[in-house]
Every structure is written in structure tokens, then in C-alpha cells.
């Protein structure tokens, strides 16, 4: 049983719309009660409950230490006030040109915070933006387990960090790639398509959670003259939610296995051994706990797997010769010299493998690869294993010059070994109940 698989996009949207206003009012009440308790510097806790129009009882708890500079608020859900604000922003479809697209449109929890439209996943894998007919050129990456990605930098051997498949959210502006990534889609004409940051801030200032915004960021945070600051605060709030335990719960079977609380099946154990050995997956998708705790199954680097073009990608309608050059294309556009960007052409961010198998049902289609070329875990594992074998019949890579020839392509895995790898990857889905 998987609690994420029980969720429904429609149900989630209805609940969010009905609860947002109630949440904002509850948090205001709790904050006022905490302030009235005095300024002794000791924590005070206030809890209140209310019943929403949906008939659901909601409780909001705020704990506040009133010593200057040490204020923190939490709701009964366990999220901080900033994380709750980020969640409201994340699921708000009104924050788009036609009030029809939210962050969650392309990053749905029940699919591991990637796209949830089965028809799109089965074909082009690129999601339509708020404006009809407007599309990006790549599949949505996961919005989960990315908060530890550092600002984009070169360590002398490899480029590391940043966000987006091409690293274009570098983190150089805000010092946080995740927050910079959160800013991007709002103003991208192919995504939420708002004309400018002022339009976004205006929508937020009229939202049902505007009171919560002022609680988190201050009484003048909604001032129209504070557009640049407010735009940053919106992004940092979303990043806070994307770093929260709700998005990164570390509740997979593998997590419980690492704690010694469950055992893997023989097939899953075989898959883990292959993952860390013959299949060489763990060289980029780190599977052992590090200094930061539970493994994230990514090293935040970039690689060219030799993935073919996705012929159903709508980008080819306007440009049949389009080639996604990934990190190298981004570096070139940002002014890097040829000796810097050319070795990185065609490379894309190594994604986390957490929740890589998560979907509502076995029949649900989930796309894989930066362009969504692959439609199942079995297919992409088979590609890793057989890309360079003539009998496999794979199409030519989208960009071949920088293709990784050392760690994939002809691994010599049997079909049973491929199935064992897939079985292990299924242990990385959150929501496991031991």
C-alpha cells in the first residue's frame, strides 16, 4: 500500500482551494494568540480548530519564541508557515496567464513530482503552458529531492549543481538554485506565461493566502513597490516547501532497509548489488548514506546518455532540426568560450532516482529521460544495457559527440538482471508502510 498512490489530482485541487482561506485565517489567529502570551523568550503554543466547507476539521498550531531573531512558526501539519505558504503558491493555478497552470501541473506528488498527464507522458512528454499551443522542449524534471543541489560550478573535472535539465537556474543570483528554478516558469511564455514579476506579485497580493504571506515576510511585503523583493520571497517560499518533509519524506522501502527495519526480497537485493556493481548506476546515482544522511541517488552532475530524439516532442513542429544541447547550450548562451561549453554539449542533469517508479497504478504511463523518449523503467534500463549493441535497434542519439561510452551502452546484463534492477528501483518510492 502506498499513500502517494492513493492521491488524486482533482481531489487535491478541490481541497486546496477550500482550505487556503481557512489556513490563512487560522495562522493569523494563532500568531496573535502567541504574541499576546508575552515576550518572555519562552515558546508559547496555541492551537485552534475549524471546520471547512468541505466538512474537514482543520487544526492550526503556531509555536513562537519571541526573542528577537528566533521566531519560528509551525502548523499542525508539521510544515513551517513558510513551507505552508510555499505549498499554497505551488498548487495555485491562478498564478498563470489564464489561471489554469500551477507548479503542480507539471510536478504532481502522485507521480513523484513530475508530470501526471497520461496522454502527454505516452507521447511528446512536454507539457502545454498556460497559453494554448505553447510548449517547452523537455520533460518536467522532479521537483523533489533537489534542495541540496549547490550553485552551478566547475570542480576542475565536472560541472556540478544548478537546477533544470541544462543547469540554467545556476543559483548565482539568489544563492539558491532551487529558488531560482521556482522563479523561471512563472515568466516563461511556454509555461505559466505571466508578463513580468509585477503581474505575479499582484496575483499573490489578491490571493486567499495573502495574510499568510504577510505573516511570513512582514506587514509591508505585499507593497506593489516591493516587486523585486516579493518575487524573491515567492521563490524562496516555494523552495522551502520543495525542501520540506512533505516533498522529501524519505519513506521508501530502501530507507527502512537502511535503518534495518525491513529486508529486501532476493530479487530486490540482486538489483541493489547490480546497481552498485555490474550496472555501474551508483557511480552517478549515489545509493549509500553520506555525511548529509539518507542518499539522494544523484551526484548533481551532468551526462550525455545518448538518448534519441523524441519524435513526438512538439518542438519539432516549429523546428524540425532542433537539437537540445543541454548544459553546453546553456554555457554557450551565457557567454562561455568554446573550450568550456563544447565538452558539455548534449549533457543533462543527473536526476534523482527517488520515486522514479512512483505512479498511481501499474498501467499509468510515466516518461523517462530529459525528453521523455522512454515510457517505462524497463525500457530505459534496457537502453542503458544495450544502447551500443547492433541487435537492439535503438535510433541514433540526439547528440553523439559527448556521449558517455564508459558507464553504459553494452553492460552485458541478462533480461533477468534488468528485471532485478527494476525491482530495486521500485524500492525507492516514498509512502512504504513497513
Q: What's the CATH code, domain 253-318+351-428?
A: 1.10.760.10
- Asked whether residue 69 carries a pLDDT value surpassing 50, the answer given is no
Entry field: residues in the chain:
434
Q: Name which CATH class applies to 3-147+170-242.
A: mainly alpha
How far is the C-alpha of 11 from the C-alpha of 434, rounded, in Å?
26
Rounded to two decimals, the pTM is: 0.84
Per-residue pLDDT tens digits for 243-289: 999 999 999 999 999 999 999 999 999 999 999 999 999 999 999 98
Per-residue pLDDT tens digits for 423-432: 999 999 999 9
- Asked whether residue 22 carries a pLDDT value surpassing 70, the answer given is no
Predicted confidence band of residue 33 (pLDDT cuts 50, 70, 90): very low
Predicted confidence band of residue 8 (pLDDT cuts 50, 70, 90): very low
- Asked whether residue 212 carries a pLDDT value surpassing 60, the answer given is yes
**Measuring CA to CA, which residue among 151, 404, 400 is closest to residue 284?**
404
How far is the C-alpha of 369 from the C-alpha of 100, rounded, in Å?
26
Q: Which has the higher per-residue pLDDT, 135 or 17?
A: 135
Predicted confidence band of residue 77 (pLDDT cuts 50, 70, 90): confident
Three-class SS state of 206: coil
- Asked whether residue 70 carries a pLDDT value surpassing 60, the answer given is no
Per-residue pLDDT tens digits for 331-347: 999 999 999 999 999 99
Predicted confidence band of residue 74 (pLDDT cuts 50, 70, 90): low
- Cα–Cα separations (whole angstroms), residue 250 to 179, 326, 427: 21, 29, 11
Report which secondary-structure segment, H or E, holds 154: strand 153-154
pLDDT of residue 32: 36
How far is the C-alpha of 89 from the C-alpha of 239, rounded, in Å?
10
- Mean per-residue pLDDT of the chain: 87
pLDDT of residue 73: 62
Per-residue pLDDT tens digits for 113-162: 999 999 999 999 999 999 999 999 999 999 999 999 999 999 999 999 99
Location of each CATH 1.10.760.10 domain in the chain? 3-147+170-242, 253-318+351-428
Three-class SS state of 3: helix
CA 430 to chain centre: 14
Proportion of the chain above pLDDT 70, given as a percent: 82
Per-residue pLDDT tens digits for 289-312: 876 689 999 999 999 999 999 999
**Phi and psi at residue 303, in whole multiples of 5°?**
-150, 155
How far is the C-alpha of 184 from the C-alpha of 152, rounded, in Å?
16
C-alpha cell at 279: 550496472
Three-class SS state of 46: strand
pLDDT of residue 6: 44
- Asked whether residue 100 carries a pLDDT value surpassing 50, the answer given is yes
Amino acid at each position: 500500500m502506498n499513500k502517494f498512490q492513493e492521491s488524486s489530482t482533482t481531489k487535491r485541487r478541490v481541497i486546496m482551494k477550500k482550505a487556503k482561506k481557512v489556513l490563512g485565517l487560522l495562522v493569523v489567529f494563532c500568531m496573535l494568540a502567541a504574541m499576546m502570551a508575552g515576550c518572555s523568550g519562552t515558546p508559547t503554543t496555541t492551537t485552534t480548530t475549524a471546520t471547512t466547507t468541505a466538512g474537514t476539521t482543520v487544526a492550526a498550531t503556531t509555536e513562537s519564541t519571541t526573542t528577537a531573531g528566533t521566531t519560528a512558526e509551525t502548523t499542525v501539519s508539521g510544515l513551517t508557515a513558510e513551507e505552508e505558504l510555499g505549498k499554497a503558491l505551488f498548487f495555485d493555478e491562478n498564478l498563470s496567464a489564464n489561471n489554469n497552470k500551477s507548479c503542480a501541473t507539471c510536478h504532481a506528488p502522485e507521480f513523484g513530482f513530475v508530470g501526471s498527464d497520461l496522454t502527454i507522458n505516452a507521447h511528446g512528454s512536454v507539457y502545454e503552458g498556460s497559453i494554448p499551443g505553447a510548449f517547452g522542449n523537455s520533460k518536467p524534471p522532479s521537483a523533489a529531492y533537489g534542495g541540496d543541489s549547490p550553485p552551478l560550478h566547475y570542480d576542475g573535472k565536472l560541472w556540478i549543481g544548478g537546477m533544470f535539465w541544462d543547469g540554467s537556474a545556476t543559483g548565482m543570483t539568489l544563492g539558491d538554485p532551487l529558488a531560482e528554478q521556482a522563479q523561471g516558469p512563472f515568466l516563461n511564455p511556454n509555461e505559466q506565461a505571466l508578463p513580468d514579476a509585477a503581474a505575479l506579485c499582484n496575483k499573490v497580493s489578491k490571493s486567499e493566502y495573502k495574510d499568510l504571506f504577510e505573516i511570513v515576510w512582514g506587514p509591508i511585503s505585499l507593497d506593489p513597490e516591493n516587486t523585486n523583493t516579493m518575487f524573491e520571497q515567492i521563490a524562496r517560499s516555494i523552495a522551502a516547501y520543495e525542501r520540506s518533509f512533505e516533498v522529501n519524506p524519505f519513506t521508501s522501502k530502501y530507507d527502512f532497509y537502511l535503518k534495518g527495519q525491513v529486508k529486501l526480497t532476493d530479487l530486490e537485493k540482486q538489483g541493489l548489488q547490480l546497481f552498485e556493481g555490474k550496472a555501474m548506476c551508483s557511480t552517478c546515482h549515489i545509493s549509500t548514506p553520506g555525511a548529509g544522511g539518507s542518499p539522494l541517488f544523484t551526484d548533481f552532475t551532468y551526462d550525455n546518455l545518448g538518448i534519441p530524439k523524441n519524435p513526438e516532442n512538439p518542438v519539432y513542429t516549429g523546428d524540425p532540426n532542433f537539437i537540445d544541447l543541454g548544459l553546453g547550450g546553456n554555457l554557450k548562451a551565457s557567454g562561455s568560450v568554446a573550450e568550456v561549453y563544447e565538452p558539455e554539449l548534449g549533457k543533462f542533469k543527473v536526476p534523482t532516482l527517488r520515486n522514479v517508479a512512483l505512479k498511481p497504478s501499474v498501467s499509468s504511463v510515466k516518461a523517462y529521460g530529459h525528453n521523455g523518449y522512454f515510457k517505462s523503467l524497463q525500457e530505459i534500463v534496457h537502453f542503458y544495457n544495450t544502447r551500443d549493441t547492433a541487435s537492439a535497434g535503438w535510433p541514433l542519439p540526439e547528440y553523439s559527440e559527448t556521449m558517455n561510452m564508459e558507464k553504459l551502452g553494452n553492460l552485458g546484463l541478462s533480461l533477468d538482471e534488468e528485471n532485478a534492477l527494476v525491482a530495486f528501483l521500485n524500492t525507492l518510492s516514498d509512502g512504504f508502510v513497513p
